[in-house]
């Protein structure tokens, strides 16, 4: 579609206002572009919109989606250096690979905890998803790492007592949240603060935990499986 110089000016002006998060009216755009309001309306209909209001909100929504998609993964996951966080979590998992570990499930049908537990099992890391106090306490293997995937204030924390018990039993506590909780500091050995991403009130917290754990296990696999396998091949070759 070919635009006239005036239409290009209208589009440029509107995009600049949206980029600056300014709410503008039909009258304001017409005044700044030195055209009649009817010219702006006619332009919006030329683009296939019902009028100025629909054009404004559609273009605004499009810019928000574009801005969100351009945010890099490293900028949205954790409140620190992502690679450093991944390396440290890999080291923690390897340190306790022969121990009894667990993923706290908060006493409910917790898909996130179950997912993490299954993924860890794939790498021979024994870490069932549980909220059973007896399982945490009565174990034959040496105590390992206890993962608490969700300490957010927005969720009533149902795992405080089991965290306290795990600490008393000698577990290494790893916790994830998008806000720091004062009460948990005396129990938690390694805290991962997840960045808050606001986009149309959508909650990306659990998705970020999954992405982070996938990266951690990918690095774990590369470091302790593939690299060693390649070393063996070269040694025997």
Q: Which 3-state string (H, E, C) describes the chain?
A: CCCCHHHHHHHHHHHHHHHCCCCCCHHHHHHHHCCCHHHHHHHHHHCCCCCHHHHHHHHHHHHHHHHHHCCCHHHHCECCCHHHHHHHHHHHHHHCCCCEEEEECCCCCCHHHHHHHHHHHCCCCCCCEECCHHHHHCCCCCEEEEEECCCCCCCCCCCHHHHHHHHHHCCEEEEEECCCCHHHCCCCCEEEEECCCCCCCCCCHHHHHHHHHHHHHHHHHHHHHHHHHHHHHHHHC
Q: Which residue has the higher pLDDT, 236 or 128?
A: 128
Tokens of 29: 């755009």
The span from the CA of 106 to the CA of 152, in Å, is: 12
Q: What are phi and psi of 103, to 5 degrees?
A: -115, 120
pLDDT in tens, 7-45: 989 988 988 888 787 888 999 999 999 999 999 999 989
pLDDT in tens, 184-225: 888 999 999 998 876 655 678 888 999 999 999 988 987 886
Instruction: Output the pLDDT for position 189.
Output: 95
**Whole-prediction pTM value?**
0.65
Give the confidence band of 236 by pLDDT, cuts at 50, 70, 90.
low
Instruction: Output the pLDDT for position 96.
Output: 93
| All domains in the chain, ordered by first residue | 5-69 (1.10.10.10), 73-236 (3.40.50.10490)
**30, β-bridge pairs:** none
The span from the CA of 48 to the CA of 64, in Å, is: 20
- Nearest C-alpha neighbor of 90 from the set 179, 190, 159: 190
């Amino acid at each position: 579609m070919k635009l006239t110089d005036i239409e290009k000016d209208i589009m440029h002006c509107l995009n600049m206002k949206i980029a600056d998060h300014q709410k503008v009216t039909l009258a304001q755009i017409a005044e700044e572009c030195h055209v009649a309001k009817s010219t702006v309306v006619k332009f919006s209909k030329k683009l296939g919109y019902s009028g100025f209001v629909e054009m404004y909100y559609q273009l605004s929504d499009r810019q928000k989606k574009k801005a969100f998609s351009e945010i890099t993964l490293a900028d949205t996951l954790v409140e620190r250096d992502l690679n450093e966080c991944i390396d440290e979590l890999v080291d923690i998992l390897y340190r306790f690979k022969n121990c009894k570990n667990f993923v706290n499930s908060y006493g409910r049908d917790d898909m996130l905890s179950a997912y993490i537990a299954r993924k860890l099992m794939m790498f021979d890391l024994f870490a069932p998803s549980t909220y059973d106090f007896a399982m945490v306490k009565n174990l034959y293997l040496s105590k390992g790492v206890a993962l608490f995937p969700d300490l957010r204030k927005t969720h009533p924390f149902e795992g405080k007592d089991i965290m306290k018990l795990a600490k008393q039993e000698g577990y290494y506590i790893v916790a994830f949240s998008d806000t720091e909780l004062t009460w948990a500091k005396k129990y938690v050995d390694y805290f991962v603060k997840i960045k808050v991403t606001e986009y149309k009130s959508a909650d990306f917290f659990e998705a970020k935990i999954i992405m982070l754990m996938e990266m951690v296990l990918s690095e774990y696999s590369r470091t302790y499986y593939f690299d060693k396998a390649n070393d063996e091949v070269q040694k025997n070759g």
